[in-house]
Structures are given as structure tokens and as C-alpha cells.
A = this chain, B = another copy of it.
Amino acid sequence: MAKPTKPRRRLEAEAARALILDATEKRLALVGPSGIRLQEVAADAGVSHPTVLHHFGSRELLVKAVIARALHHINTALVAAINASSGDEAQLEAMIENVAIALERSGHARVVMWLVLEGHRLDGAEVRLTDVVDAAHGLRLARRRGGKYPARDDTARTVVLASLALVGGAVLAPTMLENAGLSADARTPAHFRKWLTRLLLGHFDHDRN
């Protein structure tokens, strides 16, 4: 009886790389950079682990590649979520909700948190908060009806606070909200974000520092 030769699928190198990167990115959000295992990535991608090494050279290069791609995805998703809503007031709530969903459902917030915890520095080329500050400051000036002239640093701190609440919140908010005595309802985080939006807008419009 002839040896039952196993069927193989042969992909274009780029297609195989993309498939492997997809599997790796899932693991990245789930267990972080240092938790990525070649065998698990390979199994998830439906290939053998030497194939992964063939396409990426080493585990370390694979991790570097997936981090670079994940950061690019995050940037793209954030820009899209921000641009999707124009700058007017009613849309601001929607924008924060868009960003929160973009960060949470994709696991991007977890990725950012893993990276920072493991010592990765997010430089300006990877994430650009200054652009968000510019947009927010423009919105704030447009909304101005008298009062003091808002300082740009104040807007920057507001953006940082919102970022902390959204990125940190995607990881911590469910635990923290419940721990603070708010109901464990699935909509509680969304309520919290709406509340946050009103707080930030209130600060924009009535800053008395």
C-alpha cells in the first residue's frame, strides 16, 4: 500500500505571511508579546511551526512584525473613528463611542497596554495624540462663547484624560465599575462613557481655572 501522502496547500508568500500575522495578532491581544508561542500561532494559522519560521526568520522577528502591523492598524482605526464624525457637538459623543468601540472590540486597547507594560515606547510615528489635540482644540475654540481663552495645554490634558479613560477603561472599566458599586450591566461602560463625554464638554465650556 502506498504511503498516504498528506495533502498540502501552498500559498503565495504574502498570503501566508498575512495569515500568520492574523493569527499572531489574535494572540497578541490575548496574551501579549511575551506570551506568543510559535506552535499556537502555527496551529491557529493552520500551518506547521517551521513554516512560521520560514516566513519570519525567528520568533522575535515575528513579534516585531506583528507589533508594527498592530500599531498601524490601531492608528488607522483611530483616525477612521475620529474622522467618521464631524466636529460638531452632538457628534462628539458618537466619536468617543466610536473610538471606545474601536479600541475595545478589536482588542487594540489591550495591545497598547501589553506593549507599554512590557517596555515598548509608543513614539510619535506610531500614535499621534497631537493630531487629536489639534482637532479638539479647534472644536473648543469654535464652541467658545465668551469666557477666558482656553489654553492649549488644558486641551491636551483633557485629551490625555479621555485617552486614559478609553484605553485604560477598555481593560479596567468592567472590573472597576462593578467594584465601585455600579451595576454589572453590559451597558454600564457605555453609560460611563456618555457621562465622561458630558464631563469633558462641560470642562471645555466652563473651565474656570
Given known A-B contacts A164-B168, A168-B168, A209-B198, A175 and B133 have beta carbons under 8 A apart: no
Closest to A110 in B: B117
Q: Which residues of chain B are near A173, meaning CB under 8 Å?
A: 160, 164
- Number of A residues near B (Cβ < 8 Å) is 53
Which of A56-64, A96-104, A120-128 touches B? A120-128
**Whole-angstrom distance between the alpha carbons of A180 and B128 in the complex?**
7
For residue A139, CB closer than 8 A to chain B, the reply is no
For residue A147, CB closer than 8 A to chain B, the reply is no
Within 8 Å by CB of A171, from B117, B156, B159, lies B117
Are A182 and B161 touching (Cβ within 8 A)? no
CB contact list, A162-186 vs B, under 8 A: 163-165, 167-169, 171-173, 175-177, 179-182
Within 8 Å by CB of A156, from B113, B182, B199, lies B182
Given known A-B contacts A113-B117, A171-B117, A195 and B34 have beta carbons under 8 A apart: no
For residue A203, CB closer than 8 A to chain B, the reply is yes
**Whole-angstrom distance between the alpha carbons of A180 and B202 in the complex?**
21
Number of copies of this protein chain within its complex: 2
Chain A binding surface, main DSSP class: helix
For residue A10, CB closer than 8 A to chain B, the reply is no
**Whole-angstrom distance between the alpha carbons of A171 and B130 in the complex?**
19
Within 8 Å by CB of A165, from B129, B165, B181, lies B165
Q: Which residues of chain B are near A208, meaning CB under 8 Å?
A: 202
Given known A-B contacts A130-B180, A171-B117, A173-B160, A206 and B203 have beta carbons under 8 A apart: no
CB-defined interface of A124-163 with B at 8 Å, one 1/0 digit per residue? 1001111011000000000000000000011011011101
25 A-B pairs with CB atoms under 8 Å apart are A32-B32, A32-B117, A34-B34, A34-B35, A110-B117, A124-B179, A128-B179, A129-B176, A129-B180, A129-B181, A130-B180, A133-B180, A156-B177, A156-B180, A157-B195, A159-B180, A160-B182, A161-B196, A163-B176, A164-B164, A164-B169, A168-B169, A168-B171, A203-B203, A206-B206
